[in-house]
Amino acid sequence: MNATIWHNPDCGTSRKTLALLQEAPGVTVEIIEYRKQPFTRAKLEQLFKDAGLTPREALRTRGSPAEELGLIDGASADRILDHMVEHPILVERPFVETDKGVRLCRPQEKVLELL
């Protein structure tokens, strides 16, 4: 099975999720450090749709410029997506995609639903 993780190595949950993937038998992991290789808008839209989330639900508010950018109250999904493309740190993490689907893996054990 192939798995792709959109990873932030500075995030403990992301590191733990990656470890679970790497320890799973038969799983080949592609690691995308999204701060170095940012999301496209189309990829974000696909990930959110497949995970059953709205951009607002996938918005990282802690440790991000979400409040300063006016994204906390009343921002449209389009505006949030525009800023997520420009500032990848606004995307909650980590997202994992396998042939079984996409999950925002918070807590990290959610990745087990994809294996």
Active site residues: 11
What's the rounded Cα separation, in Å, for the pair 74 and 85? 19
- Matching residue, tokens 């701060």: 35
Q: Take residue 84 and report the two structure tokens written for it.
A: 């997520």
For the chain, state the CA radius of gyration: 14
CA distance 13 to 70: 26
Q: DSSP label at 91? A: B
CA pair distance 83, 114, nearest whole angstrom: 28
- Counts for the chain of helices (H) and strands (E), in that order: 3, 4
